[in-house]
A and B are shown apart, each in its own frame.
Chain A
């Protein structure tokens, strides 16, 4: 089945630094990927939709200059949290449409827990 690899699984960074999270589709091409953020004991909030070869579409209230998304190839999307602050600490998850219409497939990565100290 479709597999999405997300890396790193955990990262601790100092306040003011930038962190890059990678999301790769391993056995299929993903023209569209999604980035979510999950606050403790809360639901997943969609941050942005990433389309290969074009600019990402951000949800209302998400700072595009802070959360930089790049989808340069059909198998890789990256989320960079710039100038991270403690309030950016969260669980970030990516997902990809695997193109299997019959399955209505959304395949998720295993998530990245970001802690900003």
Chain B
């Protein structure tokens, strides 16, 4: 079945550092890809998405590009802030059927001032 694999955390960076969180997927079709963020004590919020190959999703300085050839959707940010500390989930959704979301295991990010 479909699956998502993220780089293991936790990840700890200093403020203004460059961030990359790797995400690769396995899917039988051509899924839509998402990054969700979960702040402490809260539910998930959609951070960005891409629905087809070579699409770039972006929001709040974060970017991810849908790479079909490498089945990847790595999350990047050029300069992180303390407020970016959260858990980040990569996810996919098949465009057919029930369109369920399949999540990666999540990566906890801590940014130190």
Interface string of A84-117 (1 = CB under 8 A from B): 0000000001010100000010101111000000
Interface residue tally for chain A (C-beta within 8 Å): 19
List chain B residues, Cβ under 8 A from A42: 105-106
B89 touches A32 (CB 8 A): no
A108 touches B44 (CB 8 A): yes
B44 to chain A: closest residue by CB: A108
| Contact residues in B for A32 (Cβ distance below 8 Å) | 98
Q: List 22 A-B contacts (CB under 8 A).
A: A6-B43, A41-B106, A41-B108, A42-B105, A43-B89, A43-B103, A43-B105, A43-B106, A44-B44, A44-B101, A44-B103, A46-B100, A49-B100, A93-B43, A93-B44, A104-B32, A104-B93, A106-B34, A108-B36, A108-B44, A108-B45, A110-B43
